[in-house]
């Protein structure tokens, strides 16, 4: 039996744990200390962890089941909107227009009552459930039609890209009732805790780390199960899997839905830490960037996907601050580099550097 | 379904193809093919390239829908209404022409995935490996003589070993009918003869239909032979009987 926590995952989780404990502690040190961490960096680190979670979600369906989704940003954004809607409702009468019921943008648009799809979002638990349910349901319905019709490979990638693009256009419209171009912002607090308070920020950061660790363990449990082996079988020899009696579409829908729900969770954790969600999150380029993270880190490794996201996002933060014009070239260059030189990503490179384990030579009968 | 269609001599047939037609862009790959195979029978299907052998297998296994005709399984089920996974679950296993195994999985896992067991997502997700399962895996590995390569990644096997592994996966499914497409391709003479012996040992307990080009192999099977030509049956009988016929010689053997 393959172990749930192998060396790689163990090391990653240990490092994640260390950072999760040490980073909040470092913010409490006096600002004169060399080890002091400015508290504004905590939400930034939380944001990175959300991206890592998103990468793990994509790796689960792309790396293992071969479903290259170029629309995972949509599931992330939907999770984000669900949480954003709750945070909007929680502003209450403290908005510019002081309307206890309607968010500011609705008052501004001259609306007099809350649209039906905003009902329930005043309750945190409802928003939290929706952040998982809406992306999951969309993935289930979309996957059900696509996989049943045996849409796969590049065609599937293209329609997932179309899906996120369609949502981008829809969410840009003011009539949709999600704040149009500006999206949802000006959040005040969550569950009564101020979002600008350092303690809330730390709590959100720790929660994100826990979610990342939990989802990585869940994804790992799925991939080492017999069903995980079936997913890899689908990826490598789909028709063989069918002729063994496995309904390939059921497995694909299952993994696609689980993956979308993880992406939704990442989005829901992202929004309170970043303070805004707008239609830009649906941009097709965002979804492609996720693919680059996973490819760079090492597809089909989970840990690699998370590392890939952290590396690329850190690089992006640094480059866009120092050489803003270079970022897109760097991203394109990275993708080319990975495709040509690192087909198995950074983790694949590590494996190659490791001394090969001595394996008894396979005896080949005549 | 009319029972009159399946007459008295045919109700013993486990698999019965009745007037099956299928064309691709106007080309009639299968043209009024009728064929009956009895339970436990070993049957060889031969024919020149383009005779419709692989299309016939595609139709039986639900990969391709026929334009006309029926494929009756065990006298009461029309296979043309069922998808590949459904056909497989009825107990029909298929081996491809090109050996198709799960390359990144170990030899053992290949067999394990094939073992007869529930196939739904959730039972499979929560499946726990049991000692009984290990015993069954070992049994099939012994039978295909790959026990010593149990932990090896399937991609590292030789062509012949992959053929055997795929046959092992087929056996692990415990099918009632095995459809075997050119099992001897790429095998050495010794392996070819071993494969023939293996298939003969399976027949009786299970029904086996073998599509093959290699005449020595068909001779070694020593079974009833169906000759396909242009999508329908040209001749049927013992190998000696069909190979003596002028029309068979003309379309196939004479070349």
The chain-wide mean pLDDT, for chain A, equals 92
User: A113-144 pLDDT, tens per residue?
Assistant: 999 999 999 999 999 999 999 999 999 999 99
3-state secondary structure of B44: strand
> Does the pLDDT at position B189 exceed 80?
yes
User: Is A366 in contact with B61 (Cβ distance < 8 A)?
Assistant: no
Q: Output the pLDDT for position A204.
A: 96
Round to the nearest angstrom and report the end-to-end CA distance of chain A: 31
- Residue A71 falls within a domain, yes or no? yes
Three-class HEC string of chain A: CCCCCCHHHHHHHHHHHHHHHHHHHHHHCCCCCCCCCCCCHHHHHHHHHHHHHHHHHHHHHHHHCCCCCCCHHHHHHHHHHHHHHHHHHHHHHHCCCCCCCCCHHHHHCCCCCCCHHHCCCCCHHHHHHHHHHHHHHHHHHHHHHHHHCCCCHHHHHHHHHHHHHHHHHHHHCHHHCCCHHHCEECCCEECCEECCCHHHHHHHHHHHHHHHHHHHHHHHHHHHCHHHHHHHHHHHCHHHHHHCCCCHHHHHHHHHHHHHHHHHHHHHHHHHHHCEECHHHHCHHHHHHHHHHHHHHCCCCCHHHHHHHHHHHHHHHHHHHHCHHHHHHHHHHHHHHHHHHCCCHHHHHHHHHCCCCCCCCCCCCC
Chain B contact set for A248 (CB, 8 A): 85
Interface residue A250 vs chain B (CB under 8 A):
yes
Beta-carbon separation of B121 and A227 below 8 A? yes
- The percentage of residues in chain B with a pLDDT greater than 70, rounded to a whole number, is 94
Cα–Cα nearest to B243, from A333, B235, B101, B118: B235
**CB contact at 8 A, A94 and A345:** no
Residues of chain A neighbouring B127 (CB-CB closer than 8 A)? 225-227
Domain range spanning residue A239? 2-28+40-352
Residue A331 CB neighbour total at 10 angstroms: 18
Question: Does B84 contact A239 at a Cβ distance shorter than 8 Å?
Answer: yes
Q: Sorting pLDDT into bands at 50, 70 and 90, what band is A366?
A: very low
How much is the pLDDT for A365? 41
Which residue in B58, B63, B97, B124 has the most chain A C-beta atoms within 10 A of its own C-beta, making it the best mutation to test that interface? B124
Residue A199 vs residues A42, A114, A267: alpha-carbon distances, Å: 10, 32, 21
Domain membership flag for residue A218:
yes
User: A83 pLDDT exceeds 50?
Assistant: yes
Domain of residue A112, CATH code: 1.10.3470
**What does the pLDDT read at residue A88?**
94
Report chain A residues whose CB lies below 8 A from the CB of B161.
Answer: 364
- C-beta atoms of A242 and B85 within 8 A: yes
Is residue A261 a part of any domain in this protein? Answer: yes
Chain A residue whose CA is closest to B114: A244
Residue A232 forms contact with B (CB below 8 Å)? yes
Nearest-CB residue to B109 (from A229, A237, A254): A229
Name which of A314, A286, A288, A306 is nearest A346 in CA terms: A306
Q: How many CA atoms lie within 13 A of A171 on its CB side?
A: 23
Residue A365 domain flag: no
Q: B134 CB near a chain A CB, below 8 Å?
A: no
Question: Chain B contacts of A365, Cβ < 8 Å?
Answer: 145
What is the pLDDT at residue A25?
Answer: 92
* pLDDT value at residue B35: 92
Residue B211, CA distances (Å) to B36, B56, B96, B220, B236 in order:
15, 10, 10, 14, 14
Q: Which of B156, B158, B173 sits opposite A244 (nearest CB)?
A: B173
Residues in chain B: 255
Tokens in use for A126? 């409802």
pLDDT range class, residue A355, cuts 50, 70, 90: low
Q: Is residue A108 part of a domain?
A: yes
A211-245, pLDDT tens digit by residue? 999 999 999 999 999 999 999 999 999 999 999 99
Ramachandran angles phi, psi of B206, nearest 5°: -130, 160
Check CB contact of B85 with chain A, cutoff 8 Å. Answer: yes
Residue A2: pLDDT band (50, 70, 90) is confident
Does the beta carbon of B152 lie under 8 angstroms from any beta carbon of chain A? yes
What's the pLDDT at B39? Answer: 92
Check pLDDT > 50 for residue A363.
no
Percent above pLDDT 90 for chain A: 77
Q: How confident is the model at residue B72, as a pLDDT?
A: 93
Hey, of A223, A241, A244, which one would you mutate to test binding to chain B, going by the most B CBs within 10 A of its CB? Answer: A244
What span, in angstroms and rounded, lies between the C-alpha atoms of A190 and A170?
27
Res B254: pLDDT: 54
pLDDT at B209 over 50: yes
Q: Is B150 on the interface with A (CB under 8 A)?
A: no
Does B162 touch chain A if contact means CB atoms closer than 8 Å?
no
The reported pLDDT for the residue numbered B187 is 81
pLDDT value of position A286: 94
Asked whether residue A180 is domain-assigned, the answer is yes
Q: How far is A220 from chain B (nearest CA, A)?
A: 12
Judged by CB atoms closer than 8 Å, whether chains meet at B88 and A239 is answered as: no
Residue B233, chain A, CB below 8 Å: the answer is: no
When mean pLDDT is compared over A43-57, A103-117, B197-211, B227-241, the highest value belongs to A43-57
Give the pLDDT confidence score for residue B248 in this predicted structure.
85
Which of A63, A66, A240 is the mutation pick for testing B, counting most B CBs within 10 A?
A: A240
∠ CA A272-A274-A279, rounded to 5°: 95
Owner of token pair 């909040």: A24
Determine the pLDDT at residue B253: 56
**pTM score, whole prediction:** 0.91
Look at residue A347 in the predicted model and tell me its pLDDT.
87
**Is the pLDDT reported for residue A357 higher than 60?**
no
In a domain, A78, yes or no: yes
pLDDT in tens, A167-179: 999 999 999 999 9
Question: Chain B residues with CB inside 8 Å of A227's CB?
Answer: 121, 124-125, 127
ipTM passes above 0.85 = yes
- Whether the predicted pLDDT of A272 surpasses 70: yes
**Looking at residue B83, what DSSP letter applies?**
-
The closest of A248, A214, A302, A279 to A2, measured between CA atoms, is: A302
Could you read off the pLDDT of B217-255 as tens digits, one per residue? 899 999 999 999 988 999 999 988 988 888 888 876 555
- The number of domains in chain A is 1
| Angle at alpha carbon of residue B81, lines to B76 and B83, rounded to 5° | 115
Q: What angle do CA B71, B73, B75 make, to 5 degrees?
A: 105
pLDDT, mean of residues B211-215 = 85
Tell me the pairing of strands B13-24 and B27-38.
Answer: antiparallel
| Residues B130-170 pLDDT 10s | 899 999 999 999 988 899 999 999 999 988 889 889 999 99
CB contact under 8 A, B127 and A230: no
Per-residue model confidence (pLDDT) at position A33: 84
Distance from the Cα of B125 to chain A's closest Cα (Å) equals: 5
The radius of gyration computed from the CA coordinates of chain A, to the nearest angstrom, equals 22
Residue A364 belongs to some domain of the structure: no
């Amino acid at each position: 039996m393959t172990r749930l926590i192998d060396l790689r995952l163990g090391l990653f989780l240990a490092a994640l744990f260390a950072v999760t404990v040490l980073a909040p502690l470092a913010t409490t040190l006096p600002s004169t200390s060399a080890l002091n961490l400015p508290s504004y960096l905590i939400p930034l680190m939380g944001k990175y962890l959300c991206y890592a979670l998103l990468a793990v979600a994509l790796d689960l369906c792309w790396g293992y089941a071969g479903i290259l989704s170029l629309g995972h940003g949509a599931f992330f954004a939907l999770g984000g909107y669900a949480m954003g809607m709750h945070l909007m409702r929680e502003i209450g009468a403290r908005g510019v227009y002081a309307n206890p019921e309607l968010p500011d943008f609705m008052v501004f648009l001259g609306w007099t009552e809350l649209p039906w799809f905003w009902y329930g979002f005043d309750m945190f638990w409802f928003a939290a459930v929706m952040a998982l349910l809406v992306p999951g349901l969309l993935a289930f319905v979309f996957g059900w039609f696509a996989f049943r019709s045996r849409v796969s490979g590049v065609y599937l990638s293209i329609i997932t890209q179309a899906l996120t693009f369609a949502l981008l256009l829809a969410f840009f419209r003011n009539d949709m009732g999600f704040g149009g171009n500006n999206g949802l912002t000006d959040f005040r607090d969550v569950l009564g805790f101020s979002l600008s308070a350092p303690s809330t920020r730390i709590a959100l950061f720790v929660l994100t780390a826990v979610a990342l660790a939990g989802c990585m363990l869940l994804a790992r449990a799925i991939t080492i199960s017999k069903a995980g082996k079936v997913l890899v079988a689908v990826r490598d020899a789909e028709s063989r899997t069918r002729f063994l009696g496995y309904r390939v579409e059921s497995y694909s829908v299952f993994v696609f839905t689980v993956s979308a729900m993880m992406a939704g969770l990442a989005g829901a954790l992202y929004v309170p830490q970043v303070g805004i969600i707008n239609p830009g999150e649906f941009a097709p380029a965002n979804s492609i960037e996720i693919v680059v993270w996973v490819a760079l880190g090492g597809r089909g490794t989970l840990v690699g996907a998370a590392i890939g996201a952290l590396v690329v996002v850190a690089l992006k933060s640094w480059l866009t601050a120092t050489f803003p014009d270079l970022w897109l070239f760097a991203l394109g260059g990275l993708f080319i580099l990975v495709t040509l030189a690192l087909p198995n990503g950074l983790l694949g490179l590590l494996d190659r550097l490791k001394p090969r384990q001595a394996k008894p030579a396979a005896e080949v009968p005549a | 379904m009319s029972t009159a269609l399946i007459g008295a001599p045919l109700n013993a047939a486990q698999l019965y193809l009745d007037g099956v037609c299928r064309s691709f862009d106007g080309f009639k790959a299968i043209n009024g093919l009728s064929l009956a195979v009895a339970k436990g029978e070993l049957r060889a299907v031969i024919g020149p390239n383009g005779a419709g052998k692989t299309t016939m297998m595609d139709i039986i296994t639900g990969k391709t829908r026929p334009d006309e005709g029926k494929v009756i399984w065990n006298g009461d089920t029309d296979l043309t209404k069922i998808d590949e996974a459904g056909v497989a679950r009825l107990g029909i296993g298929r081996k491809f022409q090109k050996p198709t195994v799960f390359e990144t999985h170990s030899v053992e896992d290949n067999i394990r995935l094939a073992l007869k067991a529930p196939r739904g997502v959730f039972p499979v997700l929560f499946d726990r490996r049991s000692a009984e399962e290990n015993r069954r895996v070992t049994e099939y590995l012994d039978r295909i003589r790959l026990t010593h390569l149990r932990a090896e990644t399937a991609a590292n096997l030789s062509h012949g070993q992959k053929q055997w592994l795929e046959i092992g996966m087929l056996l692990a499914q415990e099918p009632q009918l095995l459809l075997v497409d050119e099992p001897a391709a790429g095998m050495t003479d010794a392996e070819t003869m071993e494969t023939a012996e293996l298939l003969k040992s399976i027949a009786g307990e299970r029904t086996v239909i073998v599509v093959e080009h290699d005449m020595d192999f068909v001779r070694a099977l020593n079974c009833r032979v169906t000759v396909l030509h242009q999508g329908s049956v040209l001749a049927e009988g013992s190998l000696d009987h069909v190979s003596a016929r002028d029309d068979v010689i003309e379309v196939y053997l004479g070349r």
